Structure 1
Amino acid sequence: MSESYAFIGLGHLGGKLAASLLRNGFAVTVFDRDPEAVDRLVVLGAAAAESPSEAAARSGNAITCLPSPKVSEAVLCGPGGLLDGLPKDGTWIEMSTNGRDEILRLASLASAKGIETLECSVTGGVHLAAVGKITALVGGDAALYERHRPAIEAMCSKSFLMGPIGSAAVIKVITNMLAFIHLVAAGEALMLAKQGGLDLAQAYHAIVASSGSSFVHETEGQLILNGSYDIGFTMDLALKDLGFALRMGEKSGVPLDLASRVNAIFEEGKRAYGGDAWSTQIVKLLEDAVGTELRAPGFPAKLEL
């Protein structure tokens, strides 16, 4: 492939995205604080680096998939960060979820060093990332997008160029806000079915075939009914993304009544189960309140295609 990439951040999502690059023949140099995450990619053909700057210097371009804007800034600008290693014609592709103000600020720091930025948030879930079928929401220069489109399409089956830097952050925050609202609603719907005496498996499939279905019901609903809740995404991350949405709404004068209520529910979920609990476990608040579990046979512990 004409471009090679450093990949920084090999967690639940990042490790799957980096593996897709490797499967599609890209040269990838990886760095993560977790040596086991690095080893899993080295087995697939990645090279390992001792720091983000070393990985970036070897590759000329860098991709990050990190848990917060604070971590993204540290990896970009801190000692041994990407800006110490990327060449002036290099590109930073940020796949983490950031607010619009955060990505604009970080992109300006990169620009001051002669580095171009492409934001490339992804949506659809870790199970889709594992097979290269997740969706990319891209913000940045159109020519830069075309330059890195082969790599994006190696990781993602669909990509949408939303506009200049900051545009992808807006749509990603919106899609995540909707997902958390749908998750709480799906839990309430299943509990009504349970308390109404319905077979939960049959109720799940009936909802899938109805006008009330959603992507979240169809996917995370299975993990609720299994009882694993294992979506690979935590309460803390949900609260981070909901916070972006609420700040966006406040700044733009849009009242977000549903998002505000769902944010409060996730705050309660974090207090009950901890910030590292899977976000899907938010439905357990309702299970605990009613005193009954939402379980049905035949549903997987993890989502697979």
Structure 2
Amino acid sequence: ITCLPSPKVSEAVLAGSDGLLDGLAAGGTWIEMSTNGRDEILRLAALASAKGVETLECPVTGGVHLAAAGKITALVGGDAALYERHRPAIQAMCAKSFLMGPVGSGAVIKVITNMLAFIHLVAAGEALMLANQGGLDLAQAYHAIVASSGNSFVHETESQLILNGSYDIGFTMDLALKDLGFALCMARDFRVPLQLAPLVNQIFEVGRQKYGGGAWSTQIVKLLEDAVGTELRAPGFPAKLEL
């Protein structure tokens, strides 16, 4: 089982010198929980298959705080029988799991969910800034949005870290741009003329240039804070997400 930051690292761990394929016997299973693009996981699965090793892709979604509590969601791609064989291990780590189809399917839905999350993050920041500049109490505005039709999981969770000022989501600008890049590649491959994702990708590129690739992805909202000249802060919100 691997959960790694990039396809390059996954390939090194899988097929590099003294990698998994040097020690995993034919008939074994590689459960890959990293976020990969569709082409990347198909290529890595082919490397494993050449050594007689089956692949079950199992990227996860829900955030670091849910992962720490064992309540994350698994988005599985692979053979149905292989999934059933390893379902107990997946269920031990994840509260929910969805078999999306063959290998590659998990990557597609995971990239989609992350694309949505980054779009929602930028939108949440804009909403909070409008509320602030409109003279609203930001804590009340936060809770009103949570109770509204405009709510999102990202607002409900990550907006708390913005209002606290820690921004500590445990996920970096570099990782956000990696996943947005996967989404843009999929759009080209599938001939889907996306409009929001390319714009959000551009915003994150500016954020990385200004704050660095290691800055938390939630700090993308600082671009708006800096432009307006005010911080989005309210009392009573945590520095880190907890269940």
Q: Corresponding residue for 1:94?
A: 32
TM-score (norm 2): 0.99
Q: Corresponding residue for 2:84?
A: 146
1:205 equivalent in alignment to 2:140: no
C-alpha distance in structure 2 between counterparts of 1:125 and 1:258, whole Å: 22
Q: SS state of the match for residue 260, structure 1?
A: helix
1:107 equivalent in alignment to 2:41: no
1:136 equivalent in alignment to 2:74: yes
Q: SS state of the match for residue 30, structure 2?
A: strand
Report how far residue 151 of structure 1 moved.
0.9
2:159 maps to which of 221, 242, 246: 221
Unaligned runs of 5+ in 1: 1-62
CA RMSD of aligned residues (A): 0.5
1:262 maps to which of 178, 189, 200: 200
Q: SS state of the match for residue 64, structure 1?
A: coil
Q: Corresponding residue for 1:284?
A: 222
C-alpha distance in structure 1 between counterparts of 2:171 and 2:242, whole Å: 15
C-alpha distance in structure 1 between counterparts of 2:220 and 2:38, whole Å: 27
C-alpha distance in structure 2 between counterparts of 1:275 and 1:256, whole Å: 24
C-alpha distance in structure 2 between counterparts of 1:195 and 1:262, whole Å: 22
Over residues 6-65 of structure 1, what are the superposed CA-to-partner deviations in whole Å (9 max), with x where a residue is unaligned?
Answer: xxxxxxxxxxxxxxxxxxxxxxxxxxxxxxxxxxxxxxxxxxxxxxxxxxxxxxxxx111
Identity %: 87
Give the count of matched residue pairs.
243
Unaligned runs of 5+ in 2: none
Q: Corresponding residue for 2:2?
A: 64
Q: Corresponding residue for 2:239?
A: 301
Q: Corresponding residue for 1:271?
A: 209
Report how far residue 117 of structure 1 moved.
0.3
C-alpha distance in structure 2 between counterparts of 1:263 and 1:117, whole Å: 30
**Higher RCO (Cα < 8 Å, 6 or more apart):** 2
Q: Corresponding residue for 1:9?
A: none
Over residues 174-209 of structure 1, what are the superposed CA-to-partner deviations in whole Å (9 max), with x where a residue is unaligned?
Answer: 000000000000000000000000000000000000
Q: Corresponding residue for 2:12?
A: 74
Question: Following TM superposition, where does structure 1 have runs of at least 4 consecutive aligned residues deviating by more than 4 angstroms?
Answer: none
1:120 maps to which of 28, 35, 58: 58
2:102 maps to which of 164, 169, 180: 164
